């Protein structure tokens, strides 16, 4: 089995029956988010209580939701990006000892194993490049990933899906499996994958509510995308890609 597949598999009955979770063993819970690298350039986002977007009725957003691959050249505003990040991974409540956090999407045991990376191309006030969203601080942190410079054509990594290069920003979600495994052990695969789906559906609906669009992608070269993000593909694994831009009327 490839190293980057060891977490993403179904456990055997013996593994399920005999496993004692690290939570039950009294091991301290893993951090709720990856730490921000020392010296990383930070981009403050619009505070959640100041966001005024997304007033479309939920019924209309659900009715209009579709995969959109045609984007205009219009930039996303910093407020629009802040809103999309809040809608997909925003923090609602945190345990006093930061054992768990309630976010804007569900996750088994409030473990939230996903990290959000952004390949920014056309967002007002944000220099192009690779960033990671830090939800506890509600900021973007620039990522120094050598692979992002060598593999700057994200569309190539996504098997020549050229609409990726037209997006204002591309959301890329990874998972840190141990966040969920700490509680659920080898039976964590289902929750990790479901968590990713919850996040992306919120992105679809939030995009519709601001005149933007997205199209979720799982067709990509695994090793190249992990390299692009600067992750190891074992303790952190890329799972899902979603380019976002202002939608053309014919999108």
Show the 3-state SS of 24-92: CCCCCCCCCCCCCCCCCCEEECCCHHHCCCCCCCHHHHHHHCCCCCCECCCCECHHHHHHHHHHHHCEE
Q: Which residue is listed with tokens 């979770």?
A: 21
105 contacts 89 by C-beta, under 8 angstroms: yes
Helices (H), the chain: 13-18, 58-64, 78-89, 146-150, 154-157, 178-184, 189-208, 222-229
pLDDT of residue 76: 97
pLDDT beneath 50: ranges in the chain: 1, 151, 251
pLDDT of residue 197: 95
pLDDT of residue 251: 41
Total Cβ atoms within 10 A of residue 119: 23
Token pair for residue 246?
A: 């202002």
182 contacts 27 by C-beta, under 8 angstroms: yes
pLDDT of residue 1: 37
pLDDT of residue 152: 58
Q: Which residue is listed with tokens 């010296």?
A: 39
pLDDT of residue 19: 74
Torsion of CA 70, 123, 203, 181, to 10 degrees: 130
Coil, strand or helix: which one is 234?
A: coil
Q: Supply the pTM of this predicted model.
A: 0.92
């Amino acid at each position: 089995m490839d190293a980057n597949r060891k977490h993403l598999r179904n456990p055997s009955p013996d593994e399920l029956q005999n496993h004692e979770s690290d939570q039950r063993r009294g091991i301290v819970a893993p951090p709720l988010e990856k730490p921000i690298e020392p010296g990383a350039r930070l981009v403050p986002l619009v505070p959640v209580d100041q966001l005024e977007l997304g007033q479309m009725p939920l019924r209309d957003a659900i009715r209009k939701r579709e995969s959109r691959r045609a984007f205009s050249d219009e930039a996303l505003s910093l407020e629009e990006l802040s809103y999309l990040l809040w809608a997909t991974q925003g923090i609602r409540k945190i345990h006093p000892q930061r054992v768990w956090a309630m976010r804007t999407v569900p996750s088994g045991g409030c473990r939230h194993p996903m990290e959000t990376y952004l390949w920014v191309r056309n967002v007002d006030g944000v220099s192009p490049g690779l960033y990671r969203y830090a939800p506890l601080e509600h900021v973007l942190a620039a990522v120094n990933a050598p692979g992002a410079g060598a593999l700057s054509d994200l569309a190539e990594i996504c098997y020549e899906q050229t609409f990726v290069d037209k997006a204002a920003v591309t959301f890329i979600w990874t998972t840190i499996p141990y966040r969920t495994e700490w509680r659920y052990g080898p039976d964590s695969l289902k929750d990790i994958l479901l968590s990713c789906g919850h996040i992306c559906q919120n992105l679809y609906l939030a995009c519709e509510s601001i005149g933007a669009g997205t199209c979720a992608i799982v067709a990509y070269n695994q090793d190249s995308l992990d390299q692009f993000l600067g992750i190891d593909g074992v303790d952190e694994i890329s799972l899902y890609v979603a380019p976002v831009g202002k939608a053309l009327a014919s999108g």
